[in-house]
Structure 1
Amino acid sequence: MTVIRTGSPLDWREVCAVAAGAPLELSAQARERIGAARALVEQIIARGMRAYGVNTGVGALCDVVVSPAEQHTLSHNILMSHAVGVGASLGAQETRAIMAAAINNYAHGHSGVRVELVERLVALLRADCLPEVPALGSVGYLSHMAHIALVCVGAGHVNWRGERISGAEALRRLGLEPLSLEAKEGLSLVNGTPCVTGLAALALQRAHRLLDWADAVAAMSFENLGGQMVAFDAGSLAYRVSPGLAQVGARMRAALLGSGLLAAALGRRTQDPLSMRTIPHVHGAARDVLAATAEVVNRELASTTDNPIIAGTPEEPRVFSQAHAVGASIALAMDSLAVAVAQVAAMAERRLDRLVNPLVSGLPAFLAQASGTRSGFMIAQYTAAALVAQNRREAAPASLDGGVTSGLQEDHLCHATPAALKALAVIDNSGRIFGIELLAAVQAYDLQPIAAERAPYTQALYSQVRAVLPTYRDDRPLADDITRAFHMIMDDGPPPLPGPLTVRPSRDFCIPAPTDCVAGSAAASANDALPGAVGT
């Protein structure tokens, strides 16, 4: 599938498609808008209108006038001085997502770069010839796109077909000449929010998949621990107004439909621990955050995030040298998403602890096949606890870090790109936590003392895991199993839930009449739920 940047902006799912390898093309309409904006830049230069980064220096040098003869040098030098990233490089998907978001931004037609420059980025994507982009060193934007742009002028490095080569050699192999940047192009190449927006799109995709797995894995733990299905009763949940909560409640009812284990546990307890009975509340709250974050990211993709913005007509060109490159809204959204995912994962670790603790599980200690000589999942729970603690540190808000740069000119920093990188790290950590819970839940089924059938859905999940990983008997490094489970969770979604999940007719999520309630049985219907995908 080819993604085409038309008159409408890309949405986050299209950015993810390009990140996964889909080609990106510019429509004729997009090219026309880019060209029209470039014509306005030429008028601004010809008229001697002061425009930040066009005929002035940048940052604290914004009042230093740059002559027409020096404007090419200014653009070129901006790339060199702003390419200050450090640390390990971003992955291929992350780099492609940033490039797609940048092309989308230029196609709004308010940046003033040449069509040839945007086509150069398109060509690199088409060839999957990806610039080497160090992940660290940004307080908001600048460095990531600078490293990408280096390749356009024959500098920097790329990773292509498993080989690291110079930007100059990459262009030679592609049959392309290095570009000579013109006025404003250097600045447009490094500023704006494409770096955080591309990364945020990937965070949305990975968080969406993770939350689907969170529901599935939680259902397995809930079943193993003999939970009370009344926690997912549709009538009860409807008293709290939350689309995410209603959706998760329906998903849990569908996942546990027909469980003999839960039928045997019916009425055993008045209420379950919070890590079990608040699955709809916590997972649902995270889904609500996910939906809100998707709106923010799509708004960012629909916005021009350049500085300055070029507008007006050839007769009356206008320049807005203000602050649209600052990503406060998306920084806050990324911080919120990281906290939401971290909370869901923290509760998973608490369920995991209950599975391995014989005082509350009714299962063999630490899910070991033989107590004393085997430790089972004792230390795997330590790993999960360590990852929860790391998530807590990573989820501290980047958007509040602040700082002062550029000689007091840039005296408020939102740290948008670091917020997105932290969110991705939290999602990865959480995938490992859920991988450990998944393995423990499958092991718990093997050790269940109750002779009763599992729900068809959880049985399918059990069979999927056991098809690639046998019962754990302390006979191999458990880390290898955890890695397999992590990739199972992060690389694809869980099996689809049984039955259609349809919307119950309602007005403003009104509370259903008591006759609509399901009375908490293990055979509760799934047909009174909200639809599956959040953020569409």
Structure 2
Amino acid sequence: MTPVTIRPGAMRLSEWRAVYCGAPAALDPACRSAVEAGAQTVAAIVARGEPVYGINTGFGRLANVRIDAADLAQLQRNLVLSHAAGVGEPLPDPVVRLVMALKIANLGQGASGIRFETLAFLGTLLERDLIPVIPAQGSVGASGDLAPLAHLACALIGVGEIAVAGERRPAAEALAEAGLRPLALAPKEGLALLNGTQVSTALALAGLFGAEGVLQAALVTGALATDAARGSDGPFDPRIHALRRHRGQIETADALRRLMQGSAIRASHLTGDERIQDPYCLRCQPQVMGACLDLLRQAGTTLETEGNGVSDNPLVFVAEGEVISGGNFHAEPVAFAADTIALALCEIGSLAERRISLLTDPALSGLPAFLTPRPGLNSGFMIPQVTAAALVSENKGMAHPASVDSIPTSANQEDHVSMATHGAYRLLRMARNTGHVIAIELLAAAQGCDFHSPLASSEPLERVRARLRASVPHLTDDRLMAPDIARAMALVAGGTVVEAAGVGLPGVDHAG
């Protein structure tokens, strides 16, 4: 993969996606002068002995406690150790790589007061794929992602664990084997590493990229299901969508039209015997999927901005020689973005499940009951539709907005929080759930089209069917269904369905 240069304050969504997908990433050395100037400002404040939050005071509710100069290094170490209180399963390595890159971009703007060697050390871990083990739970999304980022900082000082080639190792051992010595943190550095929205932002970005993938796959399977159900492509006529003017709706209608163009199945029912109007799950795909696309693009804009911002506290202003305490760590924008992505994921899966249900119902589809040639003896797709319904219901429960909740922390010093981190973490599961629904639709739609043989669908959709049939044969009699769903899910999650279609589909990057 093409290496990514982390340019603090100037990263694009596509570059964050590349880092998440495993592209090598390295810090742009051009930021060195800004970082060093910020560190010099902190050093001057320490030399003057004036009290400044996070440099020579306690933290949170203990901000009024002065710390002696001799204890400043211990203060930062204690901060990291005491805040590493996360629980739960470790975050996936790709998410942690993205956390590291986002943290580098944040610190690299010179407003955090850390030394360049500290920033470079974090960059070295990223370049060598030495991935800190970060428990997923324990952040409320304000005062930064304190607990999870403390686990990141622990790895830098040789405490906790680091994943090396997927194996969890004691951090001190992993650093030693890599020829690296643990860092001794300078004033402000522990707080700068802990404070910020990088974990919630990384999780929200991962959810966004997952949602984009399932939306594009759902356009393909939705078109295939429409053909299987002998539905009309009339509702995708561009004149309809131009009148409403929503960009996402216009683009998804165009994609569905191109996916179905040239279908012999569609051509076979243009003789007046078709339904006057298709059910909404077929007819209103552009309206629903277009709205989802617009939501994802709005979330992408927010997250791209967040990734380019500075979100720790306090902040160093070199020109004035000042350190000012504020609240950029509050992850409300990320929380809203995560809630938006959750809504889109919920609706993508919900609409697809309705199409699966339609295909299995002979009264609606005109196809054999449950898409099996011998219903009764065989159950066919009866239970895969139940599985899809279960996943959609699970997503509905998880789609409740996380951002509307707040539990005060730190003796009411931090009295309103965003809950962005778990709001973003759920997106990983929601995207998997939706992906499985789309995988079931792929199987059902391909099976439905099989009954129209010898008529074929369009060239793009036939390429998708051929790719599926290379690993999942037509269902004649009942067999174990779980492996079929797993193989179809691999095609959805790996992008193969979209790639096989070979039709340019709208995505979140196209927000201009």
TM bucket (normalised to shorter chain) is over 0.9
Alignment partner, residue 55 of structure 2: 54
Find the aligned partners of 2:276 and 2:150 in 1 and give their Cα distance. 60
Alignment partner, residue 3 of structure 1: 4
Find the aligned partners of 2:205 and 2:508 in 1 and give their Cα distance. 19
Alignment partner, residue 455 of structure 1: 458
Find the aligned partners of 1:531 and 1:162 in 2 and give their Cα distance. 31
Alignment partner, residue 397 of structure 1: 401
Once the two structures are superposed, the pairs formed by residues 161-176 of structure 1 within 5 Å of their partners are 161-176=165-180
Q: How far off is 1:497 after superposition?
A: 5.4
Cα distance, 1:496–1:31 mapped onto 2, change above 3 Å: farther
Cα distance, 1:350–1:500 mapped onto 2, change above 3 Å: closer
Find the aligned partners of 1:89 and 1:239 in 2 and give their Cα distance. 48
Find the aligned partners of 1:394 and 1:374 in 2 and give their Cα distance. 34
What amino acid does structure 2 have at the position aligned with 1:311? F
Q: How far off is 1:27 after superposition?
A: 2.3
Cα distance, 1:70–1:205 mapped onto 2, change above 3 Å: same
Aligned 8 A contact 2:436 2:485 in 1: yes
Q: How far off is 1:286 after superposition?
A: 0.8
Alignment partner, residue 297 of structure 2: 291
Q: How far off is 1:205 after superposition?
A: 2.0
- The alignment of Structure 1 onto Structure 2 pairs a total of residues equal to 505
Aligned 8 A contact 2:379 2:478 in 1: no
Cα distance, 1:7–1:435 mapped onto 2, change above 3 Å: closer
Find the aligned partners of 1:64 and 1:244 in 2 and give their Cα distance. 54
Cα distance, 1:12–1:533 mapped onto 2, change above 3 Å: closer
| Residues 397-406 or 193-202, more deviating | 193-202
Aligned 8 A contact 1:138 1:417 in 2: yes
Q: How far off is 1:284 after superposition?
A: 0.4
What amino acid does structure 2 have at the position aligned with 1:269? R
Find the aligned partners of 2:50 and 2:339 in 1 and give their Cα distance. 39
143, 150, 163: which is aligned to 1:159?
A: 163
Which consecutive residues of structure 1, in runs of 5 or more, have no partner in the other structure? 502-529
Cα distance, 1:533–1:362 mapped onto 2, change above 3 Å: farther
Provide, for residues 130-182 of structure 1, a one-character-per-residue CA deviation record: whole Å limited to 9, x for no partner. 11111111111112211111111011011212422100001100111111111
Q: How far off is 1:279 after superposition?
A: 0.3
Identical pairs, percent: 37
What amino acid does structure 2 have at the position aligned with 1:297? L
Q: Is 2:431 the partner of 1:427? A: yes
Find the aligned partners of 1:320 and 1:13 in 2 and give their Cα distance. 33
Once the two structures are superposed, the pairs formed by residues 135-146 of structure 1 within 5 Å of their partners are 135-140=136-141, 141-146=145-150
379, 385, 391: which is aligned to 1:381?
A: 385
Find the aligned partners of 2:353 and 2:224 in 1 and give their Cα distance. 14
Aligned 8 A contact 1:208 1:534 in 2: no
Cα distance, 1:532–1:303 mapped onto 2, change above 3 Å: closer
Alignment partner, residue 315 of structure 2: 309
Alignment partner, residue 278 of structure 1: 284
Cα distance, 1:489–1:250 mapped onto 2, change above 3 Å: same
Alignment partner, residue 534 of structure 1: 510
207, 213, 222: which is aligned to 1:209?
A: 213
Alignment partner, residue 471 of structure 1: 474
Aligned 8 A contact 2:9 2:105 in 1: no
Aligned 8 A contact 2:219 2:255 in 1: yes
Alignment partner, residue 179 of structure 1: 183
Find the aligned partners of 1:345 and 1:534 in 2 and give their Cα distance. 23
Moved over 4 A (4+): 496-501, 530-533
Alignment partner, residue 355 of structure 1: 359
Find the aligned partners of 1:382 and 1:496 in 2 and give their Cα distance. 28
3-state SS of 2:26 partner: strand
3-state SS of 2:403 partner: helix
Q: Is 2:486 the partner of 1:486? A: no
What amino acid does structure 1 have at the position aligned with 2:510? V
Provide, for residues 388-432 of structure 1, a one-character-per-residue CA deviation record: whole Å limited to 9, x for no partner. 011011111111111111001011010111121122221111011
Aligned 8 A contact 1:287 1:534 in 2: no
Alignment partner, residue 520 of structure 1: none
TM-score w.r.t. the length of structure 1 is 0.91
Cα distance, 1:52–1:265 mapped onto 2, change above 3 Å: farther
Cα distance, 1:499–1:431 mapped onto 2, change above 3 Å: closer
Find the aligned partners of 2:510 and 2:435 in 1 and give their Cα distance. 19
Cα distance, 1:464–1:498 mapped onto 2, change above 3 Å: closer
Cα distance, 1:216–1:271 mapped onto 2, change above 3 Å: same
Alignment partner, residue 80 of structure 2: 79
Alignment partner, residue 116 of structure 2: 115
Q: How far off is 1:295 after superposition?
A: 0.9
3-state SS of 1:51 partner: coil
Aligned 8 A contact 1:121 1:152 in 2: yes
Alignment partner, residue 106 of structure 2: 105
3-state SS of 1:32 partner: helix
What amino acid does structure 2 have at the position aligned with 1:231? P
Find the aligned partners of 1:204 and 1:363 in 2 and give their Cα distance. 36
Q: How far off is 1:532 after superposition?
A: 9.0
Find the aligned partners of 1:236 and 1:186 in 2 and give their Cα distance. 57
Cα distance, 1:535–1:49 mapped onto 2, change above 3 Å: farther
Q: How far off is 1:451 after superposition?
A: 4.7
Find the aligned partners of 2:290 and 2:60 in 1 and give their Cα distance. 43
Alignment partner, residue 33 of structure 2: 32
328, 336, 343: which is aligned to 1:324?
A: 328
Q: How far off is 1:215 after superposition?
A: 0.5
3-state SS of 1:265 partner: coil
TM-score w.r.t. the length of structure 2 is 0.95
Find the aligned partners of 1:106 and 1:461 in 2 and give their Cα distance. 45
What amino acid does structure 2 have at the position aligned with 1:274? Y
Q: How far off is 1:312 after superposition?
A: 3.0
What amino acid does structure 1 have at the position aligned with 2:14? R
Q: How far off is 1:474 after superposition?
A: 4.9
Cα distance, 1:371–1:484 mapped onto 2, change above 3 Å: same
What amino acid does structure 2 have at the position aligned with 1:309? L
3-state SS of 1:164 partner: strand
141, 146, 152: which is aligned to 1:148?
A: 152
Find the aligned partners of 1:346 and 1:53 in 2 and give their Cα distance. 47
What amino acid does structure 2 have at the position aligned with 1:460? R
Q: How far off is 1:84 after superposition?
A: 1.2
Find the aligned partners of 1:97 and 1:6 in 2 and give their Cα distance. 14
Once the two structures are superposed, the pairs formed by residues 326-341 of structure 1 within 5 Å of their partners are 326-341=330-345
3-state SS of 2:456 partner: coil
Find the aligned partners of 1:500 and 1:465 in 2 and give their Cα distance. 20
Q: Is 2:204 the partner of 1:200? A: yes
3-state SS of 1:295 partner: helix
Aligned 8 A contact 2:8 2:105 in 1: no
Cα distance, 1:230–1:379 mapped onto 2, change above 3 Å: same
| Residues 150-159 or 265-274, more deviating | 265-274
